[in-house]
Chain A
Amino acid sequence: MAQETEETRPDGARHETVPGDRLAPGGPRLALALGVGKLAGSTGRMLKVGGGTSLPGMIARFIDPNVLRKVIGASKAKKIAVTGSNGKTTTSQMIGAIGLANDLKVSQNRTGANMLQGVTSVAVNAANLRGELDDDLLVFEVDEGTFPLAIPEIQPDVVVVNNIFRDQLDRYGELYKVASGLERVIRELPASATVLLNGDDPLVANFAPDMRARRLYFGLEAQNLGGTVPEHAADTVRCVKCQHYFEYDAVYISHLGAYRCPSCGYARPKLDVALVAAEMQPQGPTTVTVRTPGGEVTLTMPLVGIHNVYNVTGALGGAYALGLDLSLASNGLATIKPAFGRLEPIQAGDQTVYLSFVKNPTSYNTILRTIRDWPGQKHVLAAASNTVVDGEDFAWFWDVEIEEIAPDLLTVTCSGLKAEELAMRFKYAGISDEQLEIIHDRPAALEAGLRKAGPGGSLFIFAGYTPTLELRRAMTERGWVPHVWEE
């Protein structure tokens, strides 16, 4: 097997070559990997079984494990990687939209296919068989567990870390393990890279103080939006330095906010990119003013909720670090649609379905609090299943503040393999037997939920990863929403 060597190209980019492969610039193995990967993607789309969001990457890596490295190494595109527990998809989409508004050719992994296969699929879909791609900007949403493996291959110019929340414990074990994985990789980034850290998250703000890369903090400085006491589901409420409980001048979501330790003085760092004002209508739009080192930006977007205020602040920070013209961001975000499964409105005849993918207490609580301000009582379809991806442990559901929204709920239909657990949780939150119904089959549960919502009514779906895909597929079959890969 020929030795791989490193070679420095005239423009300074480094990539690996295999001597003897000069006939096809990327090498025959690479061409095969890309070709078969692309074929798998289009076949999947044709047969409507999959859309080229992960499969191409998986197959390509099987043929050539270095496929992503090689394509990245040969490319002149700027690269940005977004990670963290919540908000990756929306933040990445926002950055992509700002890139497009800047007239750049952008490729990114959509729909949350954010593990190694999904990240690799970006390259497989965008590159030609010689491994060349002509994009100006590559935006990678990267799952926080995959980050340590993906970043050395992507070699991003900019990294955005949104937040760290406790996901179901049986997937990633402890909070601190995930954090140290991210921190380790960030520490290794070169001085030419920039890292945007959410300063409002004490765990994230404390990452790798000795990093070589440029360090920028983003967060919120609009105290009228926050409270002063963190909620129950908050994770890092203790000082990361001395373990004393934090006090907050303003807390916005879970443990995110303007914290300070009354014991050792550790406090939120000065923010480089900060939201200074926001006007939020309950059902949108949201107008934000964000301060960056390059100036202030004001824009209006259709997305709602404080979580999206964080997402847009992080996205503007990332766009600034990429050198994009932020005055064009307004155009880019004016028509941005909610990402797949993020209070995604789907028109079902004369009814509206709001599809929300929920996977941890914080994302669930955030969505519940967002819709609590919407008028009228709500019909809910809650679906959860235990699968390899969703995990087995659903105890975290008891950390969701269902009690807060229970008085607003008219009916709750529970579906999925864990329907009984869901129903029990809702019962203990104050929902009566008459309001609750268990229908395991997802399409049947969808029918029932819509029937209860009545003509012109709305149905709110809260679903785990697998049921979200299943329900969306059911809605695609009814023609209400295109296939996930056609977006």
Chain B
Amino acid sequence: MIDLKNMTLRICHLYPTLLSVAGDRGNLFAIQRRCDWRGIKTEVREVEVGEEADFSQYDLILSHGGADREMQLASRDILKKASALKDAVEAGSAFLAVCAAYQLLGHEYKPFKGDPLPGIGLLDLRTEGGSERFMTHLAMECDFSGQKQVMVGFENHSGRTYLGPQAQPLGKVVAGWGNNGKDGYEGARYKHVYGTYLHGPVLPKNPWFTDYLIKIGLEHRYGGPIELPALDNKAEEAAHAAALRLAMLNKGKMSAIEATTWKR
């Protein structure tokens, strides 16, 4: 087993400019810093619309959220990348997909008004746009990383996502609305693909999840099992606890902002 300090995690950031709302690039920062602090090198390749890539070369693929216009552009382009992405995932690459990217990994996104957008069907799910937005703090129990963990974040979506039989949920909602506000689950996972609506961004406040993605990414390249040395997580745990408290406080509310002053 080679030394961690001789390891490089190869990351692909898909649509870094097109799908980049809500500070989600913080997910990339979280991965890079937590690797830096352990002496692990990282390489990031950015892939935009119109660019081709052999995604199986990457240990971890990241893609994030965007508004409607951006999502339409991404949908048209990601179809061209569909088989390359599927090959990578079947061969063990990890993928974190947030919000719009999460929806595009499914079969289809049907907006509230307008024509349906096709997805690449990498995750067995479909999404329908609703008239109201779930916009609040969320906390969920997850059990995919080897031990039970709580994931916290901020959801902000009008899409309602329904999982098919090939997809497992990412977690069981404790506070918040989750995929569709009805079935009590949030996100989806399949092999090492993790889809979620959680912004925040999601990784900094959930260092266990960041470390898990780093671990499986490195194992993809170097074989396993890999044990990452622990880091001082005081700051992350404090932010996690604060977010969890907010999620519990806002439990049951559709929107964490019940009345903004600018509304008539």
Given A169-B22, A423-B235, decide whether A395 and B137 contact each other with a Cβ distance below 8 A.
Answer: no
Q: Measured between C-beta atoms, what is the minimum distance from A438 to chain B in Å?
A: 7
A145 CB-CB contact with B under 8 Å:
yes
Tell me if B201 and A169 are in contact (CB < 8 A).
Answer: no
10 closest A-B pairs by beta carbon, nearest first, are A398-B26, A398-B23, A395-B23, A392-B256, A420-B239, A420-B238, A145-B262, A174-B67, A424-B239, A395-B22
B205 CB-CB contact with A under 8 Å:
yes
B86 CB-CB contact with A under 8 Å:
no
Q: Which of A243, A245, A396, A428 contacts B22 (CB 8 A)?
A: A396
Residues of B within 8 A of A176 (CB): 67, 69
Tell me if B23 and A397 are in contact (CB < 8 A).
Answer: yes
Convert B83-104 into 0s and 1s, putting 1 for each residue whose CB lies closer than 8 angstroms to a CB of A. 0000000000000000000000
Main secondary structure of the interface of B (DSSP, over half): mixed
B236 CB-CB contact with A under 8 Å:
yes
Residues of A within 8 A of B238 (CB): 420, 423-424, 438
Residues of B within 8 A of A143 (CB): 262
Tell me if B204 and A424 are in contact (CB < 8 A).
Answer: yes
| Number of A residues, CB within 8 Å of B | 39
Q: Which of B3-41 contact A (CB under 8 A)?
A: 17, 20-26, 29-30, 33
Q: Which of B29, B135, B261 contacts A428 (CB 8 A)?
A: B29
Residues of A within 8 A of B137 (CB): 392
Convert A89-117 into 0s and 1s, putting 1 for each residue whose CB lies closer than 8 angstroms to a CB of B. 00000000000000000000000000100
Convert A418-429 into 0s and 1s, putting 1 for each residue whose CB lies closer than 8 angstroms to a CB of B. 101101110110
A171 CB-CB contact with B under 8 Å:
yes
Q: Which of B135, B201, B239, B242 contacts A395 (CB 8 A)?
A: B201
Q: Which of A415-441 contact B (CB under 8 A)?
A: 418, 420-421, 423-425, 427-428, 433, 436, 438
Tell me if A170 and B257 are in contact (CB < 8 A).
Answer: yes
Residues of A within 8 A of B234 (CB): 433
Residues of B within 8 A of A397 (CB): 23
Tell me if B29 and A398 are in contact (CB < 8 A).
Answer: yes
Residues of A within 8 A of B189 (CB): none
Tell me if B232 and A243 are in contact (CB < 8 A).
Answer: no
Q: What's the Cα separation between A176 and B67 when bound, in Å?
A: 9
Tell me if B260 and A388 are in contact (CB < 8 A).
Answer: yes
B127 CB-CB contact with A under 8 Å:
no
Residues of B within 8 A of A392 (CB): 135-137, 154, 246, 256-257
Tell me if B25 and A436 are in contact (CB < 8 A).
Answer: no
10 contacts between A and B (CB under 8 A): A115-B262, A170-B156, A171-B260, A232-B20, A232-B25, A386-B256, A391-B257, A395-B22, A395-B154, A398-B204
B227 CB-CB contact with A under 8 Å:
no
Tell me if A420 and B235 are in contact (CB < 8 A).
Answer: yes
Q: What's the Cα separation between A428 and B199 when bound, in Å?
A: 17
B68 CB-CB contact with A under 8 Å:
yes
- In the complex formed, the residue of A with least CB distance to B264 is A149
Tell me if B30 and A423 are in contact (CB < 8 A).
Answer: no
Given A171-B260, A388-B260, A424-B239, decide whether A399 and B156 contact each other with a Cβ distance below 8 A.
Answer: no
Q: What's the Cα separation between A237 and B17 when bound, in Å?
A: 9
A166 CB-CB contact with B under 8 Å:
yes
| Number of B residues, CB within 8 Å of A | 42
Q: Measured between C-beta atoms, what is the minimum distance from B31 to chain A in Å?
A: 10
Q: Which of A355-398 contact B (CB under 8 A)?
A: 386, 388-389, 391-398
Candidate in A388, A394, A420 with the most chain B CB atoms within 10 angstroms:
A420
Given A398-B201, A428-B33, decide whether A388 and B261 contact each other with a Cβ distance below 8 A.
Answer: yes
Residues on B close to A: CB < 8 A? 17, 20-26, 29-30, 33, 67-69, 73, 135-137, 154, 156, 199-201, 204-205, 232, 234-236, 238-239, 241-243, 246, 256-257, 259-262, 264
Q: What's the Cα separation between A396 and B65 when bound, in Å?
A: 13
Q: Measured between C-beta atoms, what is the minimum distance from A212 to chain B in Å?
A: 27
Candidate in A115, A166, A388, A397 with the most chain B CB atoms within 10 angstroms:
A388
Given A169-B21, A393-B22, A398-B25, decide whether A243 and B235 contact each other with a Cβ distance below 8 A.
Answer: no
Tell me if A386 and B246 are in contact (CB < 8 A).
Answer: yes
Residues of A within 8 A of B23 (CB): 394-399
Residues of A within 8 A of B260 (CB): 171, 388
A277 CB-CB contact with B under 8 Å:
no
- In the complex formed, the residue of B with least CB distance to A143 is B262
Residues of A within 8 A of B67 (CB): 174-176
Residues of B within 8 A of A436 (CB): 235
Tell me if B257 and A427 are in contact (CB < 8 A).
Answer: no
Q: Measured between C-beta atoms, what is the minimum distance from A467 to chain B in Å?
A: 16
Q: What's the Cα separation between A232 and B68 when bound, in Å?
A: 20
Q: Measured between C-beta atoms, what is the minimum distance from A189 to chain B in Å?
A: 21
Q: What's the Cα separation between A396 and B22 when bound, in Å?
A: 5
Q: Measured between C-beta atoms, what is the minimum distance from A135 to chain B in Å?
A: 27
Residues of B within 8 A of A237 (CB): 17
Q: What's the Cα separation between A245 and B15 when bound, in Å?
A: 13
Residues of B within 8 A of A171 (CB): 257, 260, 262
Q: What's the Cα separation between A232 and B16 when bound, in Å?
A: 9
Residues of A within 8 A of B69 (CB): 176, 243
Q: Which of A56-103 contact B (CB under 8 A)?
A: none
Q: What's the Cα separation between A171 and B259 when bound, in Å?
A: 10
Residues of A within 8 A of B25 (CB): 232, 398-399
Tell me if A423 and B239 are in contact (CB < 8 A).
Answer: yes
A327 CB-CB contact with B under 8 Å:
no
Convert A14-26 into 0s and 1s, putting 1 for each residue whose CB lies closer than 8 angstroms to a CB of B. 0000000000000
Q: Which of A389-413 contact B (CB under 8 A)?
A: 389, 391-399
- In the complex formed, the residue of A with least CB distance to B133 is A173
Q: Measured between C-beta atoms, what is the minimum distance from A413 to chain B in Å?
A: 14
